Amino acid sequence: MDKKFDFIVIGGGSGGVATGRRAAQHGAKVLLIEEGRLGGTCVNVGCVPKKIMWHAAQLMHGFSDAEDYGFEAAKPLHDWGKLVARREKYIRRLNGIYGSNLDKAGIEVIAGQASMLDGKRVQVGDDIYSAEHILIASGGHPSWPEIPGAALGTDSDGFFALESRPESVAIVGSGYIAVELAGVLKSLGTQVTLLLRKAHVVKAFDDMLGDCLLEHLQKSGIDVVTNTQVEKLTEAESGVRAEFDTDRDAQTFDSLIWAIGRSPNTHGLNLEIAGIDVDAKGYVEADKYQNTNVAGIYAVGDVTGRIELTPVAIAAGRRLADRVFGGMADRHLDYENVPTVVFTHPPIGTVGLSEAAARKKFGDEEVKVYTSHFTSLYYGVLEHKSPTDMKLVCVGKEEKVVGAYNRGGRRRNAARLRRGRAYRGDQARLRRYCRYPPDQCRRTGHHDLMPFRTKNI
Ligand SMILES: Cc1cc2nc3c(=O)[nH]c(=O)nc-3n(C[C@H](O)[C@H](O)[C@H](O)COP(=O)(O)OP(=O)(O)OC[C@H]3O[C@@H](n4cnc5c(N)ncnc54)[C@H](O)[C@@H]3O)c2cc1C
């Protein structure tokens, strides 16, 4: 006989766990099914391990900057294996915390692969479960190209599985995961080649960020190869040999990482049996309320392909649970103006529309852009400088800020933009807000105000 619940959640990652817990808070009887480790991508092979590696890389930058700040210290030796062991221990603890939080919320958790039997029933192994409401929060996985020998490479999951630091790595891709992994590896001593299909990075963001970042990656010693694709991989004596679609000579690397995008986890879910629509790329189609086309079946997070970030999956899921189980009829996530950080060295913070998108949306005459390029105080005494670049995109007479970007300086500014605190309001309010706290505002002395200049007034 079917075991009955109010709500079945497929996937114990960021979105699934948050939605299940909020539904349970509203009194729903919840079943959560997870085929892997609780916490999903973010905890196990995404944000969490990445940020730990990023912190290690930042420390390495700190050590090299320290000398110019008067410290005399031996060059640090880094033990990659030790860091990975400590990181994994921390992640296991998080897995346990996720489990106990679900337990405390009264949610039944089942380990196994879920597949749909119809619009109300889900199967795991030989067992069948039913509910009036079912959530698909099955996330995504790294995409791989279809070229000969592709399997000799690895992906971001494989990067986190590395037990020792490779001496040379090629990273294929131009998105945020590609540039973040490139930065970590380079900072910790690996020779990095970044292979770009075209000539830009992070093209989802404003052009200024991509241009500055590309220049910085090159200056940091990363070999950035543009307009090139890998055509074939073969085994080399140690590592992998890549052949290219240009006249560039074949090259051997200890490891090659595919970071060319992600695809939805829908395989094995039997979505077609339940009649659930997916788009051309296989993402589950969901409206602004996270409804799929089948009544009582919802989707949140990466499996929907909309802004693939943990806080987005969590926020969409909590609002869905509030709506379905908490009686809040119109609760839904607004997907506009989601702030983002790219964990490069230094990091990037962005929120809102790119300049190009604003011009397209509002017309050239309505858009006013403020930019600033300077070296922040921290770098004043350093031999190695890293410029800060900022941009505000404003619209209309009242100069409403519709986009804000920051690259460089210290981490605080990216974090501020991510929290969206520096964003709300018009340009004048933002100047007031930024007058003191961010170090960028103290360009030459502590009363040097927000250093934005207008472009094309
Ligand atoms: C390298 C990397 C770095 C990242 N860095 C950041 C960052 O800094 N900040 C940020 O916000 N986001 C980051 N992300 C993105 C973030 O991890 C995802 O957006 C987030 O995890 C999506 O949550 P989700 O619940 O949709 O899916 P997931 O977290 O992927 O969870 C889905 C879960 O469903 C399970 N599952 C799949 N199919 C089934 C099935 N049939 N039955 C049972 N279980 C199933 C999977 O095992 C998985 O545990 C990063 C991602 C990567 C890869």
CA of 311 to the centre of ligand 1 (A): 11
Residue 74: what pLDDT? Answer: 77
Residue 416: what pLDDT? Answer: 54
- Token pair for residue 441? 């505002």
10 & 136 share domain:
yes
CA of 223 to the centre of ligand 1 (A): 30
56 & 196 share domain:
no
**Of 235, 260, 285, the domain-final residue:** 260
- Residue by residue, what is the 3-state secondary structure of 355-420? HHHHHHHHCHHHEEEEEEEEECHHHCCCCCCCEEEEEEEEECCCCEEEEEEEECCCHHHHHHHHHC
Ligand 1 contact, 403 CB (< 6 A): no
CA dist., res. 370 & res. 374, Å (int): 14
106 & 137 share domain:
yes
313 & 247 share domain:
no
The number of CA neighbours under 13 Å toward the Cβ of 388 is: 27
CA dist., res. 74 & res. 352, Å (int): 44
DSSP 249: P
339 within domain boundaries: no
User: CATH code at 233?
Assistant: 3.50.50.60
Ligand 1 contact, 40 CB (< 6 A): yes
Residue 448: what pLDDT? Answer: 30
129 & 274 share domain:
yes
337 within domain boundaries: no
333 within domain boundaries: no
Q: Cα 409 from chain centroid?
A: 21
**Of 295, 325, 355, the domain-final residue:** 325
225 within domain boundaries: yes
357 & 289 share domain:
no
167 & 217 share domain:
yes
Beta bridge partners of 230: 244
pLDDT means per 10 residues in the chain (457 residues)?
94 98 98 98 98 97 93 90 98 98 98 97 98 98 98 98 98 98 98 97 94 94 98 96 97 98 96 97 98 98 97 98 98 95 94 96 97 91 91 95 86 51 53 43 33 47
Total domain count, the chain: 3
Q: Which residue CA neighbors atom 52 of ligand 1 most closely? A: 46
Residue 413: what pLDDT? Answer: 53
User: CATH code at 368?
Assistant: 3.30.390.30
Residue 427: what pLDDT? Answer: 57
156 & 193 share domain:
yes
Residue 124: what pLDDT? Answer: 98
Q: What separation, in Å, do the N-terminal and C-terminal C-alpha atoms of the chain show?
A: 70
- Token pair for residue 127? 């067992």
Residue 413 lies in domain:
346-447
336 within domain boundaries: no
116 within domain boundaries: yes
Residue 2: what pLDDT? Answer: 85
184 & 138 share domain:
no
Ligand 1 contact, 137 CB (< 6 A): yes
334 within domain boundaries: no
101 & 113 share domain:
yes
**Of 231, 260, 289, the domain-final residue:** 260
164 & 253 share domain:
yes
18 within domain boundaries: yes
187 & 304 share domain:
no
Ligand 1 contact, 155 CB (< 6 A): no
Q: Given the DSSP bridges, would you call strands 3-10 and 127-136 parallel, antiparallel or unpaired?
A: parallel
